[in-house]
Amino acid sequence: MAGSKSWAERVLQLLNRMNSFHMQGSSKPLCKKFVVEGQEVGVVQPRLIPLLSRYPEVFQVSDGDGGQVELSRRLSNYQQRSDAIEQILGEWRSEKLFDCLGKWRNEKYNVMSRFSDPSLLKMERSAIGLFGVKSYGVHVNGFVRHGDGRMSMWIGRRTQNKETYPGRLDNLVAGGLAAGLGVKETLIKECEEEACIPEAIASTAKPTGTISYTYEDEWGVFPEGQFIYDLELTADFVPQVGDGEVLEFYLWPLEQVKELIAGSEFKPNCAMVAMDFLIRHGILDPDNELCYHQLVEGLHREM
């Protein structure tokens, strides 16, 4: 029974789900590399290969061991590549070929091999799972340090009209990195829009590292990397609902946050971000949690 599992067992199940692409039974052994300008930028599942043969002027598919899907080198610059992919995705959307494209965002993500590399093209956010393109975001742990040394964390609850994980618990602020926006720029924008946190306060957030994971579902393969920030807030500051993506905010002790991480109320990657906070601040340590090493590993699995 699920209720009989320990806290660590339940959290490890969460981490396995968020790294399901690496697990037995995934499509990983059957996927082909997605290559642009000689750089591997994603993976393509077998279900997509027959469809790509419609577009020989855009995709070149090679078979056998080491097979790959390469974007035609005749598309020689960022704009040409972006336009070609946009046109094809528009066709697939009109034909209703993939459910994910029914969630069209009109928001573009950069496509590159590593975050430090120049972007090779931009792609509609709702389509990135089809090509296994790594996406990035920024998450902010808002916390308060009390006079007795205890800490509490601000947690948001997503509205019921969110496209993904409606009604689930979230970090104080989070947002994807759209093409053309920097990490700190995105953080400040999301703080203002989601929680009415002024720039003077948001800009004091401290970068603390990243988490990485790759999961697979009916919409595709999702390698994701999240830049994590801690934002210490004074006890008298209360975030306010801004753009309507958050229903309300709660200030909860870390012990309560820890218990909720192992349940089903959190948006999964937000639970991972909160757990990273607990590890870094010593709430979880190798002596009080025997699965400490596995927990840390589960937060940092690259494609």
Show me where the domains of the chain are located. Answer: 2-21+135-298, 31-131
Q: Kindly list the strands in the beta sheet with 32-36, ordered across the sheet, starting from the edge strand earlier in the chain.
A: 39-44, 32-36, 68-71, 59-61
**For residue 237, is pLDDT > 50?**
yes
Alpha helical stretches, state H, 32-113:
49-52, 78-94
Q: How far is CA 3 from CA 6, 236, 264, 270, 291, in A?
A: 8, 37, 12, 22, 19
166-194, pLDDT tens digit by residue? 999 999 999 999 999 999 999 999 999 99
CA distance 292 to 297: 9
For residue 2, the model assigns a pLDDT of: 52
41-61, pLDDT tens digit by residue? 999 999 999 999 999 999 999
Give the class (CATH, top level) of 31-131. alpha beta
**For residue 37, is pLDDT > 70?**
yes
The rounded percent of the chain whose pLDDT value lies above 90 is: 93
**For residue 65, is pLDDT > 80?**
no
For residue 66, the model assigns a pLDDT of: 66
For residue 3, the model assigns a pLDDT of: 57
Evaluate whether 237 touches 147 at the Cβ level (below 8 Å): no
- Secondary structure letter of residue 118 according to DSSP: P
CATH code of the region 2-21+135-298: 3.90.79.10
**For residue 239, is pLDDT > 70?**
yes
For residue 1, the model assigns a pLDDT of: 46
Q: What's the pLDDT band for 245 if we cut at 50, 70, 90? A: confident
**For residue 226, is pLDDT > 80?**
yes
Joined together, the tokens standing for residue 202 give 């948001």
Q: Which helix (H) or strand (E) holds 17?
A: helix 7-18
Rounded (10°) angle between helices 268-280 and 254-261: 140
